Copies of this chain bind each other. A is one copy, B any other.
């Protein structure tokens, strides 16, 4: 790119980090996809913003080719929209689409919870209780950011607990797809407490092995998250 040919470039990328010894090897495109997807989900790249190939290429010091491939990957996953000869943009969503995604997420998470109640192993249950306990402490401490992190763990444990890789993947992807639009939902301490109370019902149902109750509790939980978000957005 500037005279000196740097070795492989695959080793050095990885977000400016150091050497990564036993990594299975990833293409530039794969890493770019992760990086950009992360930026979108975290909100650094908000919906509607243009993803110009040359700009991204310069930022990551690669050519347009892997950038283009990364964008194609993101397009297929739904996080990015692309139209021919126009810059790809971070996916937007109408209110109706967002409501649809929330509804789908509610049902997917509900399914996961139901299966988790029937299938989680003892270690998985222990892990769920552990994170649930940690969440309780965070609620008392009133730390929304930390709550957000642990909350994601909580839900992820339940996704994995359904013991259905495909369903787990669908749910994770749906959550990621909604994330860019719902980044402000846990701002109030009131919601934190309420969220945790809802978790309590879910955990109990799972521990008791009551699939329907777990599914119902999760459905109510996600529904209330959606309501909180809709209220927030509405005014």
Closest partner residue, chain B, to A103 (CB atom):
B164
Q: Which residues of B are found within 8 Å of A100, using beta-carbon distances?
A: 164-167
A138 within 8 A of B: no
Q: Is the interface of A mostly helix, strand, loop or mixed?
A: helix
A75 within 8 A of B: yes
Cα distance A103–B77 in the bound complex, in angstroms? 21
A68, A73, A107: residue with the most chain B Cβ atoms closer than 10 Å: A107
Closest partner residue, chain B, to A115 (CB atom):
B103
A90 CB, min distance to chain B CBs, angstroms: 16
Q: Which residues of B are found within 8 Å of A75, using beta-carbon distances?
A: 73, 76
A157 CB, min distance to chain B CBs, angstroms: 18
Cα distance A47–B26 in the bound complex, in angstroms? 23
B103 and A167 contact, CB distance less than 8 A: yes
A84 within 8 A of B: yes
Q: Which residues of A contact B (CB under 8 A)?
A: 25-27, 29-30, 65, 68-69, 72-77, 84, 97, 100-101, 103-104, 107, 111, 164-167, 170, 174
